[in-house]
Amino acid sequence: MRISETPARDSRTTVAAGAQGTLSGPASRKLPVPPRERRPALAAVAVLLILGGALATTLLVMRSGDRVSAIRISQQVGAGQAIPVTAMEEVQIANTGIGYVAWVHRQQVAKTFAKVTLLPGTLLTEQMVVTASQELGPGKARVGLSLKSGQIPSGIKAGDRVQVIHVPGRAGDAEPEVLAQSALVDSVGAAGRSGSSGQITVIVNSELSPTVAGYATIGEIAVAELPGAH
């Protein structure tokens, strides 16, 4: 009896065949790719911000082209003084939303008084004027002074503050005395060749005005400017 044996398959052949059918090792391992996340809300916000900035820029450019006619002060007006039309000038400015007084109201402004000292170049607002002046109210008086050279500083102008001083004219008399500590210069006459004028009007308390006027008539009054006291 012949016994036939099936030869055993080479194990190396089996392993090789298996290796051909299935990949293993690093080549078969790939990192997972996360799905791309979309954020439509953020994109919409970015678009709105861009559009809002463009709109704001456009409005600023358009408004900068709008011009309004306003009042600019052309000469100094002291606190408490009336604001004459001659102290105003028309100026065209950009419409920035600030409440400057329009040029068409200049006649109404001329009936008011400066709440603070108004310097040349000031753009007038309603907060700078009042309808009544404490300087020119009851208990006050205007006194005209005709002063000589040396009794008045050069460059005095309406709206300045001065001391009114009694300067005795005779030797041996009393020392100079300050009659008014801070009097408002209401007006100044035309300047002469020296650049100053001796003709000025000051506002003092009414009970003091006879004394000031009396000394002024005999040449014993001088005024001293108070810089910065507006």
Please give the structure tokens belonging to residue 48.
Answer: 């709105």
pLDDT by 10s per residue, the chain, length 230:
443 444 444 444 444 444 444 545 555 555 565 555 556 676 777 777 777 777 767 666 555 557 789 999 999 898 888 899 999 999 998 887 788 999 999 999 999 999 888 999 999 999 999 888 878 778 889 999 999 888 998 888 888 899 999 998 776 667 899 999 999 998 888 655 544 558 899 999 999 999 999 999 999 999 999 887 65
Instruction: Quote the CA–CA distance of 144 and 188 in Å, as a whole number.
Output: 10
Q: What is the 3-state secondary structure (H, E, C) of 124-149?
A: CEHHHEECCCCCCCCCEEEEEEECCC
Q: Is the pTM of this model over 0.85?
A: no
Distance separating alpha carbons of residues 219 and 151, to the nearest angstrom: 9
